[in-house]
Structure 1
C-alpha cells in the first residue's frame, strides 16, 4: 500500500507520533485527562444540581487541605523517580518480572526503593494526627454541626494516609520507565473514580463523596504495587541494602531544596481556597475551588508530554547525550505550553458565555476576568516548571531561593490582597508575581546552568535522531 493509500487511522497515528510526540505513555495519560475533561462538566453539573454553595465550598476545601500531603512528601517522589531512572539505564526485567542487570545498579536501586519505603512510613506517623487536627481547626463552621463534616474528614485523611505509603513505589516504577503501565492503570482509576463520585453525589452522600473518591485511588494503587509489580518489588527487597548509594551525598542536597519548594508550592496554589474561606465563607471558596480544579486539570493534561518523558530524559543525562536531551525537551516543552494556552483560552471563553447568557451556573465559577488572570499566571508557572525540570535532571537545583521568595510573596499577597480586594486581588497579584518575578529569574538561572555544562558532554553524545 502506498503512502497515499494508507488507512486514515495510520495517518492519525503518524501525526500524533511525529508532530505532537505522543507515545503510548502520553497517549494513556491523554486519555485519562480526556476522560477527566469529559467527566469534569458532569461532576460540576452534579455538584451544581445537588450541592448547595456551602457544600460545594466544603467539597473543595477538603481537597485543598488534603493537598497538604505535600508537607509530608517533601519532594521525595521526584527524587526517587529521578534516581531510579539513572539506575534503570543499566537494568531490565527478566521473564518472571524480576529486576536483573548490572549488579551495582541493582544494589543501588534496591537501596533507593527501601529508603523510600522507610521514609514514607515515618511520615505516616506525622501525617495522620497533623492533618486531622489541622483540618478540625480550619474547617470548623459555627453555622454547621460538627458531625456534618468531622467524620467524613477523618475517614478521608486516613485513606490518604494509607495511600501515602504507596507513593515511593509508584515513583520508583515511573523512574524504571514503567510510565506506560502506570498511566494505563491510572486511566481506569480515573474512569472508575468519576463513576463512584457521580454515584455518591446522586445517592446523597454529600461530603462523604471525597472519601469515596479517595478509596478508589487507594484500591488501584494497591493493585499496581501489590499485584501487578509484586515480583519486581520482592526482588528488590530481597537484596540487602549496601553502601554503594549515599543518600546524604547524592540525594539530600537536592531533596532538601525540593522539600522547601514543595511546601512553597502549596502556598502558590492550594492556599488560596482556605484564605478565601476564612475571609468570605464556604460559597466563595467553592467558586475558587471549582475554577482552580479545572485550570489545574488542564495544566496537568498539558504537562503530560513532559512528565511522562522524565525517565527518558534522565537516562539521556546519565549517558551524557546533552544535545539530544535539549532538542527533545525544547520541542516537548513548547507543545506542552501551547496546549495549555489553547485549553485555558477555551475555558475563559466558556465562563464568559455562561456569564453573557446569565446562566445560574456562572455563579459557581470566578468571573471571566478573574479566570483569565488565573490561566495566564498558571501558564507562566508551567513554563518555569519546564525550565526547573531540565536543570534538576542534572541533580542540581539552583531554584531554592527563587521559589522560597516566590511562595512567600504569593502567600502574603493572597492574605493581604484577598482580605482587602477579594478574589480579584488574589488572582491579579498571582499573575504579576509569575510574569514579573518567576519567569525572569527562572530564565536567568537556566542560562547560568547551561554555561556549566562542559563542552565534552556534547562531544561524547550521539548525533540526535531526526
Structure 2
C-alpha cells in the first residue's frame, strides 16, 4: 500500500485544528494583531513627527477617552451573554435572520429597543461630561496652549460618543455568534484610521492626526450598519407585552455587578498615564503611555481565542452542555496563554537589546525594567481575563470584588508612584496583579469548575 502524502489542503486543515483557528478566532486574531502592528508602527512614527510634549498629549488624550467605560457600564458584555443565552434555543442564530420560539424572538426585539435608548443617552452624557472634564484636566498642565489641542479633543470626544452609540448593534451581533464579522469590520476601520494617522503625521498635520482613528471608526461603523440593515426586522417586530425584557428583572441584576467591574477597569488600565501627566509632565507620560499601549494591545490579541468563543460558551451553558463548555474553554485558554507569554517575553528581549545597542528612539519609551513589569502583568491578566470570561458566560459576575479592590489599589499606586520612581510604581503594580488579583480570580474560578463537573 502506498502511504498517502498529505496535500496542502490537508496540512492547512491540520494546522487549523492544532491552533484552533476557525473563521471567528482567525479574524479576531488578525484584527487584534493588526492593532499591535499598527501600535508598533505608531510608536516608531510618533517620535519622528511629534516632539516629546506632543507625544505626551497624544497618549494622555487617548487614555482620557477610556472614560467611555464609565458611561457604558459594562453593558456590552451583558448584551453578549443575554443574547447568547436566548439564541442558544433558536435556529440560524448566526445568519441575518433566525427563527424559533416567538417568546425568545420577542425578548430579543424588546432588548434591542431598550439598548438603543440606553446608549443614545449614554453617548450624549459621555460627550458632555468627558468633553468638559478633559478640557479642564488638559488645561491645568499648560504645556501646550489650548489652541493646539482643544479642537482635537472635541472631535475625538464626539467621534467616541458616536462609537459608543453603536455598541448595542455590534454586541447583539457578537452575542449571536457573529464574532468574526464584527472583528472584520473593526479591522477595516482600524486600518483606515491608522493609515490616516500615519499619513497625517507624514504630511505635517501634527497632533491633529490623532483624530483619524476614532473618526474613521465612527464613520465606517455608521455606513456598514446602514448598508447591512442589521436585524432591522427585529426592531419592526410586534412584541407581546408579556414577553418584553424588563430592565430591573432581566438586565439590572447582572449589569449592576458587571458595571462595577467595568468602571474599575478604567482605573486598572487607564489611570497611570493621566496621573503621570499630572505629576511628572507630558514627556514622562508619553514614555509610559507607549509601553501601556503596547501591552494593552498584546493583551487584546492574546485573549482573542477566548473572546471569540464567549458566545459559544454561553450557548453551551444555556443548553446545559457542561462537558462541551469545559473542553472548548481549556482548548482556547491554553493557546491564549502560550501566545501571550511568548509575545510579552519577546517584546522585553527586543527592547532590552535595542536599549543596550544605544538606539536613540528607545529614549522615548519606558525603560526595559518597566517593560518587564508590564509584560508580567500582561501575562497574569491573560489568565484573569480568560477565567473571567468563563465565569461571566454563566450570566453572572463574580469579579466585582476583585475589580474594585484592584482599581482602588492601582489608583493609589499610580497616584503616589507617579510622584516618584516609575520603575518602583510598575513593580508594585506587578506585585498587586500577581499576589492579589490573580490568586483571587483562580479561587473564584475553581468554584465554577466544581459546579460544572
Change (3 A) 1:106 1:6: same
Give the C-alpha shift of residue 269 in structure 1: 0.9
Where does residue 142 of structure 2 map in the other structure? 142
| Residue 164 of structure 1, CA deviation | 1.0
Relative to structure 1, the CA distance from residue 53 to residue 96 in structure 2 (aligned partners, 3 Å threshold; closer, same or farther) is closer
Using the TM superposition, give the Cα deviation of residue 187 of structure 1 relative to its aligned residue in structure 2, in angstroms. 2.4
Q: Which residue of 2 aligns with 1:163?
A: 163
CA contact (8 A) 2:291 2:365 kept: yes
Q: CA deviation at 1:4?
A: 4.4
TM-score normalised to the size of structure 2?
0.95
* Corresponding position of 2:435: 436
Is 32-41 or 329-338 further displaced after alignment?
Answer: 32-41
Q: Which residue of 1 aligns with 2:19?
A: 20
The equivalent residue for 2:274 is 274
User: What displacement does 1:362 show?
Assistant: 0.7
Distance 1:358 1:379 in 2: 28
**Counterpart-to-counterpart distance in 1, 2:197 and 2:261:** 32
CA 1:113–1:356 in structure 2 vs 1: closer, same or farther (change >3 Å)? same
Distance of aligned partners of 1:344 and 1:231 in 2 relative to their CA distance in 1, 3 Å threshold: closer
Deviation of 1:3 after TM superposition, in Å, equals: 7.8
Q: Which residue of 1 aligns with 2:86?
A: 87
Using a 3 Å threshold, how does the CA distance of structure 1 residues 37 and 261 change in structure 2: closer, same or farther?
closer
Partners in 2 of 1:206 and 1:154 — Cα distance?
Answer: 16
- Aligned in 2, Cα 1:281/1:94: closer, same or farther, shift over 3 Å? closer
Aligned partners of 2:85, 2:390: CA distance in 1, in Å? 15
CA distance in 2, matches of 1:389, 1:266: 18
For each residue in 1:163-210, what CA deviation from the matched residue of structure 2 results, as whole angstroms up to 9, or x when unmatched? 111001110010011112112222222222221111111122222222
Residues in 2 aligned to 1:275 and 1:333: alpha-carbon distance in whole angstroms: 33
* Runs of 4+ residues deviating >4 angstroms: 92-96
User: How large is the Cα RMSD of the aligned pairs?
Assistant: 2.0
SS state at 1:54 partner? helix
Written as runs of structure 1 = structure 2, the 5 A alignment for 1:121-200 is 121-140=120-139, 141-200=141-200
Task: State the alpha-carbon separation in 2 of the partners of residues 203 and 24 from structure 1.
Answer: 37
Check conservation: 1:414, 1:425, Cα contact below 8 A. Answer: no
Counterpart of 1:252 in 2: which secondary structure?
helix
TM-score (norm 1): 0.92
Give how far 1:231 is off. Answer: 5.1
Gaps of 5+ in 1: 459-466
Contact map agreement 2:351 2:368 (CA 8 A) in 1: yes
Q: Which structure 2 residue ranges, 5 or more long, are not aligned?
A: none
Distance 2:432 2:416 in 1: 14
Which residue of the partner structure matches residue 232 of structure 2? 233
**Cα offset for 1:303?**
0.8
How far, CA to CA, are the matches of 2:224 and 2:308 in structure 1? 17
Q: CA deviation at 1:94?
A: 9.9
2 CA distance for matches of 1:108 and 1:400?
27
CA displacement, residues 210-232 of structure 1 (integer Å, 9 cap, x when unaligned): 2121111112211332212x152
Q: Describe the shift of the 1:99–1:327 C-alpha distance in structure 2 as closer, same or farther (beyond 3 A).
A: closer
* 1:178-257 equivalences in 2 (<5 Å): 178-228=178-228, 230=229, 232-240=231-239, 242-244=241-243, 245-257=245-257
Aligned to 1:464: none
Q: Deviations over 1:312-350 (max 9, x none)?
A: 111100110011101210121121012111001111011
What is the SS of the residue equivalent to 1:348? Answer: helix
- Partner in structure 2 of residue 302 of structure 1: 302
What per-residue deviation string (whole Å, max 9, x for no partner) do you get for residues 87-106 of structure 1? 11233459994343221110
386-395 or 130-139, larger mean C-alpha shift: 386-395
For residues 109-168 of structure 1, give each alpha carbon's deviation from its aligned partner in whole angstroms, at most 9, with x where no partner exists. 111111111111111231111101111111123232111101110111011111111001
SS at match of 1:5: coil
Moved more, 275-284 or 189-198: 189-198
| Range 57-66 or range 184-193, more displaced | 184-193
Say yes or no: does 1:373 pair with 2:373: yes
Cα distance, 1:46 vs. partner? 1.4
Q: Are 1:35 and 2:34 matched, yes or no? A: yes
Q: Deviations over 1:22-67 (max 9, x none)?
A: 1111111222233333333332221111111111111111110001
User: 1:231–1:310: structure 2 CA closer, same or farther, 3 Å change rule?
Assistant: closer
What is the rounded CA distance, in whole Å, between the counterparts of 2:163 and 2:70 in structure 1? 15
Match of 1:383 in 2: 383
2:48 counterpart of 1:49 = yes
Closer, same or farther: CA 43–305 of 1 in aligned 2, 3 Å = same
The 1:258–1:190 alpha-carbon spacing in structure 2 relative to 1, beyond 3 Å, is same
Is contact 2:93-2:176 (8 Å) kept?
no
Aligned equivalents of 1:210, 1:148: Cα separation in 2: 12
Change (3 A) 1:138 1:231: closer
Preserved CA contact (<8 Å) 1:108 1:242: no
